[in-house]
Structure 1
Amino acid sequence: MISTQLFYGGGGILLLLLGLWSFLVHAPLLRKLIALNVMGAGVFHILVATAYRGLDTPPDPVPHALVLTGIVVAVSATALALAFGQRLDRDDDR
């Protein structure tokens, strides 16, 4: 039987590798931004997997706090990158 920690950790590593591969293969900036977000989701999964300590003990709160903070930072950085990309696209049209 696969444990919960192995399931989340393996899924996180898979997402991280998929995002890294996509970031290296694709040329358009929007696809690179999506790949970075997929990599971030993989890192979040790995952090949640490391917080798990078993059924009888509560999870470690520090990785959970890092994941919540990371989600806020990732959303803000994605919005900033999209605004910069739109500005670059608008300047290229001139």
Structure 2
Amino acid sequence: MALVVLALYALIVHAHLLRKVLALNVMSSGVFLVFIGLARRTPGEDVPMAADPVPQAMVLTGIVVAVAATGLALALIVRLRVLTGRTTLGDDTGD
């Protein structure tokens, strides 16, 4: 949960878009860690302390989606840099 809180703070405070993308990646890593930590099953008769495969599959899918979203965000940042010459969020000066 500390990773999620730290990344949320960075997401709100920083204006630079690359830092926001990095904060989103750290936040998703924190969510994945929490989700995997909660995926343990109680000890059963046939398999002692086996992890539930459904949350593991969901986290793997989430990692793939996070990588794709990061690639898209970085491509959009590069395009914004080419068009406007800046990579930060700020006030529009009446362009």
Return the TM-score normalized by structure 1. 0.81
**Per-residue deviation, 1:65:** 0.4
The equivalences for 1:22-33 within 5 A come to 22-33=10-21
CA deviation profile, 1:7-43 (whole Å, cap 9, x unmatched): xxxxxx0111110011011111110110000000000
Determine whether 1:75 maps to 2:67. Answer: yes
1:81 is matched by which residue type in structure 2? A
Aligned length: 81
Partner of 1:8: none
RMSD: 1.2
Output one character per residue of 1:45-92: Cα deviation in whole Å (capped at 9) or x when no partner.
011011122572211111100100000000000000000100000011
2:30 is aligned, of 39, 42, 45, to: 42
Q: Give TM-score, length-normalised by structure 2.
A: 0.80
1:21 to 5, 9, 23: 9
- Partner AA of 1:53 in structure 2: R
Identity of aligned pairs, percent? Answer: 52
Structure 2: runs of 5+ lacking an equivalent? 86-95
| Structure 1, gaps ≥5 residues long | 1-12
